[in-house]
A and B are shown apart, each in its own frame.
Chain A
Amino acid sequence: MGREKEKEKPSEKALNLLRSRLSDPNFIFRPLSDSPDSNYSKLKFIISTSVTEACNNSILLLGPHGSGKVAVLELVLSDLLQQYPEAISVIRLNGLLHSDDNCALKEIARQLCMEHQLLFSKVASFDDNSQFMIAMLRECGLAHKTIIFVLDEFDFFAQGKQRLLYSLLDAMQSVNSQAVVIGVSCRLDVDQLLEKRVRSRFSHRKLLFLSPSKEDTERFMEHILSLPMDSSLPHNYAAEFNGRLKKILSDERFKELIDTYLSFNFTIGHLVRFLFQAVSYMDLNAGFLSLGNLKTALSSNQRQLKLESIRDCSVLELYMMVCMKRLEVKEQTSYNFYSVMTEYKSIHDSFQTSDYYAANVCLRAFEHLLQCQLISFIDNKGHNQSVEFRPVKLLISSAELHQGLKSYQQCPAILLKLMDR
Chain B
Amino acid sequence: MATEESPQVTRRATRSYSASNTAIESTNPPESYKPTINDLGFRQQPLRLEDLFSSFPGRRSQILELLRLLGPLNSPMFPILVYGGPSTGKTSVTLQVFRHLNRPFIYSSCITCYSPRILFESILNQLFHRKDSGHSYSSLKRCERPSDFVNYLREALENVITNLKGNSGKVSSKMSGRPDGTMVYLVFDNLECVRDWDKSSTILPFLFNLNDILKMPEVGLIFISNTSPDTYYLNIGYAEPIPLYFPDYTEDDLRHIFMANQTNSRLYASFLDVVLRPFCRVTRQVDELAAAFSSLFKKYSEPLSDKEVAPNEEMKRRLFSHIRPHIASALNETFQVRSQPLLKAETNQETKKTNSSRMPGVREDFDKIDFHMSTSAKYLLISAFLASRNPATLDASLFDSTGVSDSHKRKRKASEKSMDQKEMAEQELLMKGPGTFPLERLLAIFQCITSLAEDSLDEEESHELTVEGGSRGLMSDVLLQLSSLCNANFIIKGGSCPLEGSTRYRTAVSEDLALKVARSLKFPLSKYLYRR
| A305: chain B residues within 8 A (beta carbon) | 228-230
Given known pairs A311-B247, A339-B427, A356-B361, the reply for A23 and B76 (CB within 8 Å) is yes
Segment among B201-209, B402-410, B474-482, B514-522 that sits at the interface with chain A: B201-209
Q: Does B78 contact A (CB under 8 A)?
A: yes
Q: Which residue of B lies closest to A383 (CB)?
A: B492
Q: Which residue of A lies closest to B505 (CB)?
A: A384
Given known pairs A20-B217, A361-B331, A384-B492, the reply for A336 and B431 (CB within 8 Å) is yes
Q: Does B197 contact A (CB under 8 A)?
A: no
Q: Does A355 contact B (CB under 8 A)?
A: yes
Q: Does B416 contact A (CB under 8 A)?
A: no
Q: Tell me whether B231 and A389 are in contact (CB under 8 A).
A: no
The CA of A342 and the CA of B493, in the complex, are separated in Å by: 28
Q: Does B113 contact A (CB under 8 A)?
A: no
| A290: chain B residues within 8 A (beta carbon) | none
Q: Does A386 contact B (CB under 8 A)?
A: yes
Q: Tell me whether A23 and B217 are in contact (CB under 8 A).
A: yes
Proximity bits, B101-131, A CB within 8 Å = 1, else 0: 0000000000000000000000000000000
Given known pairs A277-B69, A316-B281, A373-B231, the reply for A358 and B361 (CB within 8 Å) is yes
Segment among B143-151, B262-270, B299-307, B445-453 that sits at the interface with chain A: B143-151
Proximity bits, A12-33, B CB within 8 Å = 1, else 0: 1001100110011000000000
| B333: chain A residues within 8 A (beta carbon) | 358, 360-361
Q: Tell me whether A119 and B2 are in contact (CB under 8 A).
A: yes
Nearest-CB distance from B105 to chain A (Å)?
18
Segment among B10-18, B46-54, B234-242, B314-322 that sits at the interface with chain A: B234-242
| B336: chain A residues within 8 A (beta carbon) | 360
The CA of A8 and the CA of B145, in the complex, are separated in Å by: 44
Q: Does A96 contact B (CB under 8 A)?
A: yes
The CA of A66 and the CA of B281, in the complex, are separated in Å by: 45
Q: Tell me whether B75 and A276 are in contact (CB under 8 A).
A: no
Segment among A35-43, A81-89, A250-258, A364-372 that sits at the interface with chain B: A364-372
Contact partner of B281 (CB less than 8 A), chosen from A94, A100, A273, A355, is A355
Interface size on A, residues (CB 8 A): 73
Q: Is the interface of B mostly helix, strand, loop or mixed?
A: loop
Nearest-CB distance from A301 to chain B (Å)?
8
| B74: chain A residues within 8 A (beta carbon) | 16
Q: Does B524 contact A (CB under 8 A)?
A: no
Contact partner of A334 (CB less than 8 A), chosen from B245, B280, B431, is B431
Given known pairs A356-B360, A358-B333, the reply for A273 and B229 (CB within 8 Å) is no
Nearest-CB distance from A97 to chain B (Å)?
4
Nearest-CB distance from B136 to chain A (Å)?
25
Q: Tell me whether B243 and A300 are in contact (CB under 8 A).
A: yes
Given known pairs A357-B332, A389-B434, the reply for A19 and B284 (CB within 8 Å) is no
The CA of A153 and the CA of B506, in the complex, are separated in Å by: 46
Q: Does B86 contact A (CB under 8 A)?
A: yes
Given known pairs A277-B69, A338-B430, A356-B360, the reply for A186 and B247 (CB within 8 Å) is no
| B202: chain A residues within 8 A (beta carbon) | 96
| B78: chain A residues within 8 A (beta carbon) | 23, 273, 276-277
Given known pairs A308-B247, A338-B430, A357-B282, the reply for A103 and B147 (CB within 8 Å) is yes
Given known pairs A20-B217, A355-B281, A358-B333, the reply for A384 and B68 (CB within 8 Å) is no
| B69: chain A residues within 8 A (beta carbon) | 277, 280
Contact partner of B334 (CB less than 8 A), chosen from A23, A273, A355, A361, is A361
Q: Tell me whether B2 and A120 are in contact (CB under 8 A).
A: yes
Given known pairs A120-B1, A269-B239, A384-B506, the reply for A314 and B284 (CB within 8 Å) is yes
| B280: chain A residues within 8 A (beta carbon) | 314-315
The CA of A368 and the CA of B285, in the complex, are separated in Å by: 10
The CA of A366 and the CA of B84, in the complex, are separated in Å by: 18
Q: Tell me whether B2 and A121 are in contact (CB under 8 A).
A: yes
Q: Tell me whether A19 and B71 are in contact (CB under 8 A).
A: yes
The CA of A391 and the CA of B427, in the complex, are separated in Å by: 13
Q: Tell me whether B332 and A103 are in contact (CB under 8 A).
A: no
Could you jot down 6 A-B contacts, CB within 8 Å?
A155-B236, A311-B248, A336-B431, A373-B227, A384-B492, A388-B433
Closest 4 CB pairs of A and B: A389-B433, A65-B237, A358-B332, A23-B76
| Residues of B in contact with A (beta carbons under 8 Å apart) | 1-2, 4, 65, 68-69, 71-72, 74-78, 84-86, 145-147, 150-151, 169, 202, 205-206, 209, 212-213, 217, 226-231, 236-240, 242-243, 245, 247-248, 280-285, 288, 331-336, 360-361, 427, 430-434, 489, 492-495, 506, 508, 510
Question: A97-B145, A103-B145 known; 17 other A-B pairs, CB under 8 Å?
Answer: A96-B202, A96-B206, A96-B209, A300-B245, A303-B243, A306-B228, A315-B282, A316-B281, A342-B430, A356-B361, A359-B510, A360-B336, A365-B282, A384-B493, A384-B495, A385-B433, A386-B508
| Residues of A in contact with B (beta carbons under 8 Å apart) | 1, 12, 15-16, 19-20, 23-24, 64-66, 70, 94, 96-98, 100, 103, 106-107, 110, 113-114, 119-122, 153, 155, 186, 269, 273, 276-277, 280-281, 300-301, 303, 305-306, 308-309, 311-312, 314-316, 334-336, 338-339, 342, 355-361, 364-365, 368, 371-373, 384-386, 388-389, 391
